[in-house]
Structure formats: structure tokens, C-alpha cells
Copies of this chain bind each other. A is one copy, B any other.
Amino acid sequence: MSITIKDVAKRANVSIATVSRVLNNSNIVEEDTKKRVQEVVRELMYLPNNLGRSLSIKRTEAIGLILPDLFGEFFSEVIRGVDQTAQHHKYHLLVSSSHDDRKEIEAALQMIRGRVDGLIIMSADIDVQTINKNLPKSLPVVLLNCQVDDTSYDSLNINNYYGAYQMVSHLISHGHKSISIIKGPVNNHDAEERLRGYRQALRDGKAQLDFKLEYLGDFSEASGYDAARAMLKKKTRPSAIFAANDSMVIGALSAIQEAGVQVPEEIALAGFDDIPIVQFVKPSLSSVRVSINELGVLAVNRLIQAIRERSKFIKQKTLVPVEVIPRESCGCPKPPRIPFYRTISNQIEMSTQR
């Protein structure tokens, strides 16, 4: 069927060892034979088989990435960061998705096993057991935004606490003393951390810390809308609102504008995540940008280090930095719009232009 190293060896009148040496340009092969072998390789259009090679050298020179989904801008950004960094380290990338489904996660782990030298896993509800059961202990693994308490895996998490802290501190620096929060759902780890950051910023900034200022939301636009309506009904309303995510801040904005209240003059707004829409609404919304790309970059760097150092590698928990993006809604001037290269249109054209 396919042309193998044996065919080349036979045709060039050498042993397969010599052919292999030529291919991996080992320097101990005579110029003459080298030429002859290369000639035959071209002639037969021989292409080495990676499976055989990997099996032999016990390396695949590829790393794996398992995501809950491959869909949407967030995961796309992760993939991009991972891809670029992997390529930079001369590693190839293998992507798989789990759809946050127990069965599929196991299938993904099993499929990827043996095909990669290391693995990055991003999944909300993966547990250490599942990983242990489906991956050899020897395979380097980095967990991305997984909520595992276990210290037996290296892990990276978004610094929700610090992001919220920074954003709220920024609001305080605008002179706000009474800042409400629209919280995320209970038992959500991100939400809890963001709340914690909010509270600490109030304490440190000597602003009003009061449970009355805390409203419950569930990360949905609707819950943000409801929370803002509730605030506006009160006798005294806060001078600023920090929502635990952007969806809720958008909902809140609707409610506030409906009530004829001016943003940011009468009430300032800030969110979290920096989703694309926040820069298109009016006024543009201040938010905390999660450097998703960097998430991927860091993950790969940790992983490669783990692969290289093997048992010497020290596992740790890393917090990925975030960045406050001030816009009109907190009282800052509107920054320039992001470049257009992000849009589908341009991508299609980029991919089809010669």
C-alpha cells in the first residue's frame, strides 16, 4: 500500500537504518549514500509515518487541549493562545471537546492518550478521579479554570478576586462611596471570588460596605435588569453599580435608561468579562478584561515546562491576571474601538484572498 522505509532501503541498496539516518540527518552517513537515498526518497515520494516514529522514540511532539466546547469567541481565544505558544515551542496541537459531558470527557481523554506528550484540560465539572482513571500518571497535565482543590495537578485560574477588586477600586477613585453589586449565582466559584474582591475594595477604599447594597443575580441579562429596577425603587440609590458580569450590566443599563436616569452622570456602571458588545452599546461599558489569550499562553508554558522537567516540575496553582478597561459608563472617556480584524467578514476574506 503505502511506501515505507523498507521500500526506500531496498531501492537504494542500503539498510533501513541508513535510510533512517539520512532522514534524521545523522552526520555519520557518507555523502554518496546520502545523495542516493535522498534521490530514492524523492523518486518514490516517500513520506515517513509518524505513528511508527512516535512509537519508537516515545515522543509525539504534540500537546493536547481539551475544551468543554470548541464554539464561540472565548474558547476560540484560548485555542489561539495555546496554538501560537505551542507552535513557538515546536509542538503541534491537538484539540478535542468534551461538551461538558462525562462520557465525552472520558472518550476525549482516552483518544488523546498516547497521541500527545502533555495535556491541557479545561472543564468545569471534571474531577480528579476521572483524570486519574483515564490518563497515565506519567502524562503531564495542566488544568485550566477547573475548580479542583487537589494539589496533585498544576492549574491556572482567572483572577476573579483581583479583577473585581481593581474595578471597584477604580469606581471609588471616581469619587463613588456608595457602590452596589449585582452578584452572580450562589455556589458559582467565579461569582464568589468577584464578590470577595468587591467587598475588599470597599473596605480598603473606605467606601460603604453594606449587605443592603448587594443584589443577587444569576449572570443573565434579565437578572441584571431586575436588580437595577429594585435599586431604582429605593429611596436612596447607589452612585455606582458593579455587576459580576457584563450580561447583567447590560440588563441593568436597560432598566436605568428606561427610568430616564443618566449614565454615568447620575449612576456609574461597570461589569466583568469585557464581552465584545460592551463597546458597542451607548454609553460604552467599563469592564474587566480576562486575558483569555494569555490564559492559553501560560497554560502551554507551564505544560512544556512540565514535559521538559518531568518529575522535577513543581505543580502549583497560578492566578491569571486581568485588566480593567475603563469606558464611558464609569465616567472615563470612550477609548477607541477595537480593530475590525476580529470580525467574520475579514476572516473569510483573509482566508480566501490570494
Contacts and interface: CB of A to CB of B under 8 A. Distances in A.
Interface string A334-350: 00000010111111111
A contact face: mostly helix, strand, loop, or mixed: mixed
Contacts of A351: 68-69, 74, 100, 122-124, 145
A18 interface: no
A325 interface: no
A6 to B, nearest CB: 15
A113 B47 contact: yes
Contact of A95 (B94, B185, B290): B94
Interface string A211-255: 000000001110000000000000000000000011100000000
B246 A138 contact: no
Contacts of A87: 97, 104
B349 A111 contact: no
Interface residues of A, number: 92
A72 B138 contact: no
Contact of A96 (B92, B135, B290, B343): B92
Contacts of A277: 280, 343
A276 B246 CA distance: 17
A72 B347 contact: yes
Given A95-B93, A114-B51, A136-B2, A290 B147 contact: no
Given A111-B62, A122-B351, A124-B352, A79 B70 contact: yes
Contacts of A50: 111, 113-115
Interface string A250-269: 00000000000000000000
Nearest to A187: B354
A341 to B, nearest CB: 8
A275 B188 contact: no
Interface of A: 1-3, 45, 47-52, 54-55, 60-62, 68-77, 79-80, 83, 87, 92-97, 100, 104, 108, 110-115, 122-125, 133-136, 138, 145, 147, 158, 184-185, 187-190, 219-221, 245-247, 272-277, 280-281, 290, 292, 340, 342-354
List 3 tightest A-B contacts by C-beta distance, closest first: A50-B114, A76-B76, A74-B347
